[in-house]
Amino acid sequence: MSPALLVFFLVGTVAVAASILVVAMRNPVHSALFLLLTFLCVAVLFVMKGAEFVGAVQVLVYAGGIMVLFLFVVMLINVRHLPDERVLSNFWKGGFAVGLAVFILFVTLVRPGVYHDPVSSDKALRSTYTYRHRKVKQPNGTVVRKLIRRGKVVGNSEAVGMSLYTDYLVPFEVASLFLLVAMIGAIVIGKRELSAIEEENVPAYMLERVETEHEVKEAMRA
Amino acid sequence: MPDAIPSTEAYLMLSGTLFAVGLVGVIIRRNMITVLMAVELMMNAVNINLVAFSHRFASLEGQIFTIFIITVAAGEAAVGLAIIIQLYRLKSSINVDDARSLNG
């Protein structure tokens, strides 16, 4: 067994175990930490398949950004006050059945030896291509302009960047617009409503907070 | 033979397992934050598939799509967590079963 296969089985086992623990843990903080472990293992798997840039983005965005967001929300919502006697929903048997069915479907669909992996095709993931016209002299004397593609092995990040800014420029801009819309939407949705105090169905904790503020103000005044 | 990286089938099996675990988590858990984490897990499984096939077919498109999926996952997490916070302010609970009424 080669070292790469050994690393793959080790990291894959850790990833699967951590993902199961994400689902199984009662405390959302523990779930989030195991999710972080899963993301790091998946980043290692990306790097093993020649996707260094995607692995780095995985670590930066998922493990750095999204996990911090999850942990912030878990700590903002005080989980200790929630009743946690029941973790599973009412139809957990059906959920396990569906999961098992999907797992069996995937494992039987993927049969070994179907895809015939090429020996070493890593070069195409690390090269950029330039196009230029060149005049080619034909045997009968005429000169024809031909489009010539020239590949150059640079590195995965440069290749991905080149592809992202040339072939996928419009989706890239759409993605930036999407992020702007998501940011504005998150701000608008998550904004605290100031007029909620006047409404009738105010949550209990908000009333308590208002009362506490009044008491503090009166104590300060006194 | 230092070049023997794991095959595409091994990656597909692993990603199928992660996807099934995420699906089970989405269905069986009541905590909304954990459900959102399970959705992220499923997206990661799809990303593994895309990267494995990008290597198999020696083209960069799979990696580009993976980057876009990560972008969408980031936006989805932000908006979903904002919705969860607002729901917690409204209902004082983050159980999925308590979020049945559409009129708030």
Instruction: Mark which of A41, A58, A82 sits at the end of a domain.
Output: A82
| Contact predicate A125/A156, CB 8 Å | yes
**Closest alpha carbon to A162 in A153, A132, A143:** A153
Q: Is residue A181 part of a domain?
A: no
Instruction: Mark which of A62, A82, A102 sits at the end of a domain.
Output: A82
| Contact predicate B101/B87, CB 8 Å | no
| Contact predicate B45/B5, CB 8 Å | no
Instruction: Mark which of A32, A65, A82 sits at the end of a domain.
Output: A82
Residues in chain B: 104
CATH of the domain at A59: 1.20.120.1200
Q: Do A124 and B25 touch (CB under 8 A)?
A: no
Q: Per-residue confidence of chain A (222 residues) as pLDDT tens digits?
A: 788 889 999 999 999 999 999 999 888 899 999 999 999 999 999 999 888 999 999 999 998 899 999 999 988 886 665 555 677 777 888 889 999 999 999 888 887 766 666 655 677 778 888 778 888 888 887 888 888 777 778 888 888 998 899 889 999 999 999 999 999 999 998 887 655 555 556 667 777 777 888 888 888 887
Q: Is residue A17 part of a domain?
A: yes
Q: What is the DSSP letter of B95?
A: B
Query: Does A120 contact chain B (CB < 8 Å)?
Result: yes
Where are the domains positioned within chain B? 8-98
CA distance A193 to chain B (A): 10
Cα–Cα distance, A209 to A196 (Å, whole number): 13
Question: Would you tell me how many other CB atoms lie within 10 Å of the CB of residue A5?
Answer: 15
Q: CB-based burial of residue A185 (10 Å sphere; 0-12 exposed, 13-18 middle, 19+ buried)? A: middle
Domain count, chain A: 2
Query: Does B46 contact chain A (CB < 8 Å)?
Result: no
Q: What is the DSSP letter of A113?
A: T
Give the structural domain span for A207.
193-222
The phi-psi region of residue B14 (left if phi > 0; otherwise alpha if psi is between -120 and 50; otherwise beta) is: alpha
Mean predicted confidence (pLDDT) in B1-18: 81
Q: Which CATH architecture has domain B8-98?
A: Orthogonal Bundle (1.10)
Selecting from A5, A69, A190 the residue whose C-beta is nearest the C-beta of B4 gives: A5
Q: ipTM higher than 0.85?
A: yes
- Mapped onto helix, strand or coil, the DSSP state of residue B1 is coil
